[in-house]
Amino acid sequence: MTQRGRCTSALPLYSAPSPALARAFRARTTNAPRVRPMKEYEQEDPIPQGDLALQLTALPRETNGFGDIYGGWLVSQMDLAGTAMASRVAAGRVATVSIDRMAFMVPVAVGAQLSFYTQTLEVGRSSIRMLVEVWSDDPLSSEWRKVTEAVFVFVAIDGSGRTRSVPPRR
């Protein structure tokens, strides 16, 4: 309820977590897997895995205040590349179910030529697991490097949006 533009909710704006909740949070974050520094992801002789699915240039409208490409925009382009290839495997419409194991290794500058590679990892009855890698050709340094990778899971769906079987490979 509001009264002259003020919120009169019975709930306080902030309440301290209970001791049990605080202990559970500490246990969860203490035992969480260690995040690897970007340098650990670098390879000595990098080679893209899979087939080229999409190529585009990073434009200024996709940048943050520091001039680097937004990670969310990059994820959406990865989803497009993965969907295109998963649709071929499924011989029809697919929907993205999950994105797993994503790590951004280096920032992407404006003007970088981005290449999206996809590799089918596993085909189930109705699902497809696909590795999507993004590689960048930096216009300033002419350096070819891996930007990010993730495992996408897609499910084959029919015209009504219901799960369907993936046809056998030929």
pTM: 0.72
- Report the pLDDT value the prediction gives residue 44, as an integer from 0 to 100: 58
- Report the pLDDT value the prediction gives residue 47, as an integer from 0 to 100: 87
Q: What are the boundaries of each domain within the chain?
A: 51-156
What does the pLDDT look like over 116-152, one tens digit per residue?
A: 999 999 999 999 999 999 999 877 777 889 999 999 9
Q: Does domain 51-156 have CATH number 3.10.129.10?
A: yes
Partnered with residue 112 across adjacent β-strands are none
* Residue 27: C-alpha distances to residues 21, 22, 32, 68, 86 (Å): 10, 9, 8, 35, 38
Q: State mean pLDDT over 53-71.
A: 92
